[in-house]
């Protein structure tokens, strides 16, 4: 299996501005930000998508959700933020490695797109 760009960032083969890392996940700034603050939160385990999550991933996914508010606080997103998880080509997923987009620093519009 070919390593995703996110796996390569986790393994420090590709540089990134790492904001958080622990045994389960890594967060880093998006290189093509869609908001003033745009951070990606990815599991260390290369889970391909939402559709690949199963009971064995519950601890990882649950932990990642506990990291989101810590990152938001660290990033000064007191006024609010958005968390987006794309799934599949039609959902806008461009890397086959589960990831959360944490977006903030401006008013988010609805519908998103």
In a domain, 37, yes or no: yes
In a domain, 113, yes or no: no
What are the E-state strand segments in the chain? Answer: 18-21, 25-29, 37-43, 81-84, 100-104
pLDDT at 108: 94
In a domain, 88, yes or no: yes
Catalytic (active-site) positions: 99
For the whole model, what pTM was predicted?
Answer: 0.94
d(CA 33, CA 35): 6
> CB–CB of 85/101 below 8 Å?
yes
In a domain, 111, yes or no: no
pLDDT of 111 strictly over 90: no
Number of structural domains found in the chain: 1
pLDDT of 78 strictly over 90: yes
- Helix then strand then coil, % of the chain, to nearest 5: 25, 20, 50
In a domain, 19, yes or no: yes
Domain ranges, residue 34: 5-104
pLDDT band at 68 (very low <50, low <70, confident <90, very high): very high
pLDDT at 53: 97
pLDDT at 112: 77
Give which of 14, 10, 38 is closest to 25, Cα–Cα: 10
pLDDT at 26: 98
- More confident of the two residues 112 and 78: 78
CB count within 10 Å of CB 40 equals 20
- In the predicted model, what is the mean pLDDT of residues 46-54? 97
In a domain, 48, yes or no: yes
In a domain, 110, yes or no: no
**What CATH number is attached to the domain comprising 51?**
3.30.428.10
pLDDT at 2: 86
> CB–CB of 39/27 below 8 Å?
yes
In a domain, 43, yes or no: yes
- In the predicted model, what is the mean pLDDT of residues 4-12? 97
């Amino acid at each position: 299996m070919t390593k995703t760009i996110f796996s390569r960032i986790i393994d420090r083969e590709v540089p990134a501005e790492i904001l958080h890392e622990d045994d389960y996940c890594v967060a880093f700034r998006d290189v093509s930000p869609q908001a003033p603050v745009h951070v990606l939160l990815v599991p260390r385990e290369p889970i391909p998508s939402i559709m690949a999550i199963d009971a064995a991933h519950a601890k990882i996914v649950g932990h990642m959700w506990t990291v989101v508010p810590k990152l938001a606080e660290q990033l000064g997103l007191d006024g609010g933020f958005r968390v987006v998880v794309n799934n599949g080509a039609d959902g806008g997923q461009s890397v086959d490695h589960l990831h959360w987009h944490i977006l903030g620093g401006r008013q988010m519009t609805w519908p998103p797109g």
